[in-house]
Amino acid sequence: MNPLIELDQSTLDAADKSQLKAWIQALVSQASETTVLLQAKTAEIKRKDFKIEALTFELPRLRRIQFGAKNETLSPLQRDIFAETLAADIAAIEVELEQLADIEPCATVAKPKRPRAGRQPLPEHLPRIEHHHEPESCTCGQCGNDLVKIGEDITEQLDVEPAKFFVHRHIRPQYACRRCETMTAAPIPPAVIDGGMAAVGLLTWIMISKFVDHLPLYRLEQIAARDQVGLARSTLAEWVGRVGVALQPLVDRLIWHLLQGNTLHADETPVAQLDPGKGKTRKAYLWAYRSNDLQEDQPRLIVFDYQPGRSGEHARQFLGNWSGHLLVDDYAGYKALFASTGNRQGCIELACRACAA
Provide φ and ψ at 98, rounded to 5°.
-65, -40
Which pLDDT score is estimated for 145?
A: 87
Q: What is the pLDDT of residue 206?
A: 94
Buried b (16+ CB within 10 A) or exposed e, 252-286: eeebeebbebebbbbebeeeeeeeeeeeeeeebbe
What tens-digit pLDDT sequence spans the chain (357 residues)? 566 566 566 666 677 667 777 777 788 888 888 888 888 888 888 888 877 777 777 777 777 666 665 555 556 655 555 566 666 667 777 777 777 766 666 555 555 565 555 678 889 999 999 998 888 888 888 888 888 888 888 888 888 888 899 999 999 999 999 998 899 999 988 888 888 899 999 999 999 999 899 899 999 999 999 999 999 999 999 999 999 999 999 999 999 999 998 899 999 999 888 777 777 888 999 999 999 888 777 788 999 999 999 999 999 999 988 988 999 988 888 988 888 877 778 888 887 777 665
pLDDT for position 73: 52
| Whole-number pLDDT of residue 89 | 66
Find, among 334, 345, 182, the residue nearest to 266 by Cα. 334
Are 342 and 318 a contacting pair, CB within 8 Å? no
Q: What's the confidence (pLDDT) of residue 15?
A: 73
Note the pLDDT of residue 82. Answer: 59
Per-residue pLDDT, 356? 64
Radius of gyration of the chain (CA): 39
Residue 200: the pLDDT is: 92
Helix (H) or strand (E) run with residue 258 in it = helix 248-258
Q: What is the pLDDT of residue 157?
A: 86
- Let me know how long the chain is: 357
Residue 102 to residue 171: CA distance in whole angstroms: 61
